[in-house]
Chain A
Amino acid sequence: MTRGWLPAGILLGWALIALGVQFLSLSPNQIHLEQILAPPGHGALLGFDDLGRHIGDRLLFGARTSFLVAAWVVCLSALLGTLIGTFSAWRGGWWDRLLVQLIDIFLAFPGILLAIALAGLLGPGIDNVVIALTVVGWVGYARLSRAQVLSLKHREHVMAAEALGSRKHVIMLRHLLPLMAAPLIIEATFGVAAVVIAEAGLSFLGLGVQPPAASWGAMIRDGTRYLLVAPHMVLAPGLAIFVVVLSVNLLGDRLRDRLDTRSLAGRRATS
């Protein structure tokens, strides 16, 4: 099948741009007063924004913001959530009940509402965005890894390892984690899409990175004020988010089919 190559290629390009953009000679913050709101074509592929800055250059730096936030948030939440979920299921009893209750309480905050409130109260800035989204994000991984460990810990190979006196972290890393990896990787893949939208959403609301740093969400926010005269300000960054998120979702779907785990979409409904 060749269909998976396009999304994978787009995501690879996103990562390369994100990591390499500061080595290019771009000027995302340079102001060209005579070019304010100029449409695409006049010396810039994507035109200029309301301050006369290159939208194309800002788009590439926005890719960096979005990639870095996604990478940090997904890694931190996956690590934190997996640790908590595994611990909860392995210890069982009182700890498990407490942590499950905590997970349920965090799930009671719909979507990114808690992240909006946290980012709003902590104040703007990329660090606070990462903190706010991680506080919201760990729950899914904790739930998933708890369910996995619960079903895995009575498998024979785990009991055999215990009987042989293997230490806990060895059992965890060598006997549990490899079997938990597939669903966690799928969750993390869809997690990237969620975080990209969430970061852009927070920036759109004015709670993300601060000017003059570029973020796709903030670019859309600036653009909405000039919709009639300069629609290109909104179109370019929106399309960038859309293409990245679509690629992640397509890839996630394929990964899910490939790794053949039960549908994650119905997970919350069934457990």
Chain B
Amino acid sequence: MPSYLIQRIGGAVIVVIGVVSIVFLLIHLIPGDPVDVMLGEGATPADRVALRSSLGLDQPVAVQFAVYLEGLLQLELGTSFHSQRPVTDLLRERLPATAWLAIVSLLIAVALALPLGMLAAVRRDTRWDTGSMAFSMLGVSIPNFWLGPLLILVFSLWLGWFPVSGRDAAGAVVLPALTLGTGLAAILSRMVRSSLLEVLGEDYIRTARAKGLPPHRILLQHGLRNALLPVITLLGLQLGALLAGAVVTETVFSWPGIGLLTIEAIQTRDYPVVQACVLLISLTYVLVNLLTDLAYAWIDPRIRLGTTA
């Protein structure tokens, strides 16, 4: 276990360094001069020089990178061009909304995927199976930015059950979470089905049947528990899609989270905020995957003892 732990964490550290470097380099990819873009065409040369030196853009790139890293280590992400406030404060304000949305979406996805996948596996090759997998196919194919407006149209405008946007009203989280959770539910239910089908063909399931255990106990205790391992890994990997999808979904519903902040910052050319948002979302993803892998290794000894190479 320790060697696996060190290897996996070491790998994650290298990835984090790489992600930080790419995010830092993003601002240098912008065509033209960011200072010109920020000040507009009417700026005097003196203003430009002043802004450039206040942003540190007159320094060599290596020095800028060092300054950026030093700031990161102190959780100092610079100041927003647009609101003139520390970027860390902005992130802190927006983070709870995104976390809440992600958690509810995840719960919705799991609550949909488990029964659907189980139903499809247990009633294999029946109408139930076809129906569940058809739902899954539809769920994968429908884009967030269409499902969101459709849900608004039906449940907010026609039925008036939920608010159109924002997060202040009661039940405001339902529609965005449903939008975000559907795609994930579709992918997960396929995985639950295939994983459960594999497990249900194992010898120990036959043994459990032979010794006369009730079917629901076989399914839940012997089947599902063993089938969930690959599902959990997939969940970790798909959390990334969830976080990236949050950018779109938050825009649809004006949900005041990190995703909406990213888009607002892109529109106002607020580069430090864009960098910080991308960094925060990506690092969360790396961390979640690391934790998933470690949890997996902890649960399943084959991973940490066997062929880790």
Residues of A within 8 A of B (CB): 101-102, 104-105, 108-114, 116-118, 120-123, 193, 197, 200-201, 204-207, 217, 220-221, 223-224, 227-228, 231, 234, 238, 241-242, 245-246, 249-250, 253, 263, 265-266, 268-269
User: B274 to chain A: which residues have CB within 8 Å?
Assistant: 117, 120-121
Contact present for B234 and A101 (CB under 8 Å) = no
6 further A-B contacts with Cβ under 8 Å, apart from A122-B31, A205-B247, are: A120-B263, A120-B266, A220-B145, A220-B146, A266-B191, A269-B237
Interface residues of B in 143-196 (CB under 8 A from A): 143-146, 149-150, 152-153, 157, 187, 190-191, 194
User: A227 to chain B: which residues have CB within 8 Å?
Assistant: 149, 152-153, 157
Contact present for B286 and A224 (CB under 8 Å) = no
Distance A109 CA – B289 CA, assembled complex (angstroms): 12
* Nearest CB in chain B: distance from A88 CB, A: 16
Distance A259 CA – B145 CA, assembled complex (angstroms): 33
Cross-chain contact of B282 among A110, A200, A234, A263 (Cβ < 8 A)? A110
Contact present for A266 and B230 (CB under 8 Å) = yes
**Does B281 belong to the interface (CB within 8 Å)?**
yes
User: B145 to chain A: which residues have CB within 8 Å?
Assistant: 200-201, 204, 217, 220-221
Tier of interface size on chain B: 35 or more
Contact present for A234 and B149 (CB under 8 Å) = yes
**Does B233 belong to the interface (CB within 8 Å)?**
yes
Contact present for A117 and B26 (CB under 8 Å) = yes
User: A238 to chain B: which residues have CB within 8 Å?
Assistant: 143, 146, 149-150
**Does B95 belong to the interface (CB within 8 Å)?**
no
Knowing A110-B243, A269-B230 are in contact, say whether A101-B281 is a contact too (CB < 8 A).
Answer: no
Contact present for B244 and A113 (CB under 8 Å) = yes
User: A111 to chain B: which residues have CB within 8 Å?
Assistant: 240-241, 243-245
Knowing A108-B15, A220-B149, A269-B233 are in contact, say whether A122-B143 is a contact too (CB < 8 A).
Answer: no
Residue of A nearest to B237 (CB): A268
What are the 9 closest A-B residue pairs judged by CB atoms, nearest first?
A: A110-B240, A111-B244, A105-B18, A120-B266, A238-B146, A246-B141, A204-B145, A245-B141, A113-B244
Contact present for B142 and A234 (CB under 8 Å) = no
User: B31 to chain A: which residues have CB within 8 Å?
Assistant: 122-123
* Nearest CB in chain B: distance from A53 CB, A: 19
Distance A48 CA – B248 CA, assembled complex (angstroms): 26
User: B240 to chain A: which residues have CB within 8 Å?
Assistant: 110-111
Binary contact readout B1-44 vs A (1 if CB under 8 angstroms, 0 otherwise): 00000000001001110110010001101110000000000000
Cross-chain contact of B19 among A109, A223, A266, A268 (Cβ < 8 A)? A109
Distance A101 CA – B190 CA, assembled complex (angstroms): 30
User: B267 to chain A: which residues have CB within 8 Å?
Assistant: 206
Distance A101 CA – B230 CA, assembled complex (angstroms): 24
Contact present for A234 and B244 (CB under 8 Å) = no
Contact present for B149 and A110 (CB under 8 Å) = no
User: B112 to chain A: which residues have CB within 8 Å?
Assistant: none
Cross-chain contact of B143 among A104, A120, A197, A250 (Cβ < 8 A)? A197
User: B142 to chain A: which residues have CB within 8 Å?
Assistant: 242, 245
* Nearest CB in chain B: distance from A75 CB, A: 22
Contact present for A110 and B143 (CB under 8 Å) = no
Residue of B nearest to A120 (CB): B266
Distance A140 CA – B208 CA, assembled complex (angstroms): 41
**Does B69 belong to the interface (CB within 8 Å)?**
no
User: A101 to chain B: which residues have CB within 8 Å?
Assistant: 14-15, 18
User: B278 to chain A: which residues have CB within 8 Å?
Assistant: 109, 113-114, 117
Cross-chain contact of B27 among A102, A121, A228 (Cβ < 8 A)? A121
Residue of B nearest to A119 (CB): B266
* Nearest CB in chain A: distance from B284 CB, A: 9
Contact present for B153 and A234 (CB under 8 Å) = yes
User: B234 to chain A: which residues have CB within 8 Å?
Assistant: 266, 269
Residue of A nearest to B231 (CB): A269
Knowing A101-B18, A102-B18, A205-B251 are in contact, say whether A110-B281 is a contact too (CB < 8 A).
Answer: yes
User: A205 to chain B: which residues have CB within 8 Å?
Assistant: 247-248, 251, 263, 266
Cross-chain contact of B141 among A193, A201, A231 (Cβ < 8 A)? A193
Contact present for A223 and B282 (CB under 8 Å) = no
Residue of A nearest to B183 (CB): A197
Contact present for A224 and B19 (CB under 8 Å) = no
User: A217 to chain B: which residues have CB within 8 Å?
Assistant: 145
Of B233, B271, B278, most A-chain CB atoms within 10 Å = B278
**Does B105 belong to the interface (CB within 8 Å)?**
no
Interface residues of B in 190-235 (CB under 8 A from A): 190-191, 194, 230, 233-234
Distance A200 CA – B147 CA, assembled complex (angstroms): 13
Distance A123 CA – B271 CA, assembled complex (angstroms): 13
Knowing A109-B278, A113-B278 are in contact, say whether A201-B143 is a contact too (CB < 8 A).
Answer: yes
Interface residues of B in 236-281 (CB under 8 A from A): 237, 239-245, 247-248, 251-252, 262-263, 266-267, 271, 274, 278, 281
Distance A105 CA – B12 CA, assembled complex (angstroms): 9
* Nearest CB in chain B: distance from A257 CB, A: 13
Residue of A nearest to B11 (CB): A104
Distance A258 CA – B115 CA, assembled complex (angstroms): 29
Cross-chain contact of A110 among B29, B141, B285 (Cβ < 8 A)? B285
User: B18 to chain A: which residues have CB within 8 Å?
Assistant: 101-102, 104-105, 108
